[in-house]
A and B are shown apart, each in its own frame.
Chain A
Amino acid sequence: MNINKYIKRQIWGYSAMLALGLIALLCGYIWKFQSMNGVAIGFIPVGLGGLVIMFYSRYHPQISRNIQAEADERGMFIRSKSGQTAFWITYWWVFAFTIFAKPLEISMDQFSIFTLIFMGIIYFIFFFINLAKY
């Protein structure tokens, strides 16, 4: 794997995430479209954090080496497995929401924010489980 190409691709990806987050924030602010705030909360920190790490790695070979190591096939396997598990758990979470949303009086924007946070937590829990397992 060419690490420079990989970092360049990651920078594009994180920039797109940051741009989407900022657009969502702007939409939420201008048109008072509140559910967009959840999208912004999800995308902006991830995009910004990823960009900082990628730019920092350009001047620090050790970080660049760590990124390369994390992107190896075992790392990809663990991430993909954790992502798949997080997806299916979130799928059932959404299913449960459709049943309990009305009696619990949960709004759509509250639900969006909860779901983004919930999916992230589930992903990282399974990431660490799989890291120990494989």
Chain B
Amino acid sequence: MQNRLRVLRESANLTQEDIAVRVGVSRQTIISLEKGKYNPSIFLAFKLARIFGLTIEDVFLFTDEGTE
């Protein structure tokens, strides 16, 4: 699943550590999310979207790829 996390984070002038502390995960998890290597749980996706005042669909771009 693709996402706009890096773009949104950089435009909000936040570091990966800032985001990690706010949502209660490791910085490594944020790195992994930005690279698209790891797909978050629905709870984490909500928390991340809430930081930027957006909806989940605005942050995460759902594609059918990799769902099977």
- Chain B nearest CB, measured from A124 CB (Å): 17
| Chain B count of residues within 8 A CB distance of the other chain | 14
Q: Complex: how many Å from CA A134 to CA B1?
A: 13
Per-residue CB contact flags for chain A residues 47-75 toward chain B (1 = under 8 Å, else 0) read 00000000000000000000011101111
- Count of A-B contacts judged by CB separation below 8 Å: 32
| Chain A count of residues within 8 A CB distance of the other chain | 11
B41 within 8 A of A: yes
Q: Are A133 and B37 in contact (CB under 8 A)?
A: yes
Q: Are B32 and A74 in contact (CB under 8 A)?
A: yes
Q: Are B37 and A69 in contact (CB under 8 A)?
A: no
Q: Are B24 and A74 in contact (CB under 8 A)?
A: no
B14 within 8 A of A: no
Per-residue CB contact flags for chain A residues 1-36 toward chain B (1 = under 8 Å, else 0) read 100000000000000000000000000000000000
Question: Pick the contact of B37 from A1, A72, A73, A134 — CB < 8 Å?
Answer: A134
B28 within 8 A of A: yes
Per-residue CB contact flags for chain B residues 31-44 toward chain A (1 = under 8 Å, else 0) read 01000011011011
List chain A residues, Cβ under 8 A from B27.
69
Chain B residues with CB under 8 Å of chain A are 20, 24-29, 32, 37-38, 40-41, 43-44
Chain A residues with CB under 8 Å of chain B are 1, 68-70, 72-75, 77, 133-134
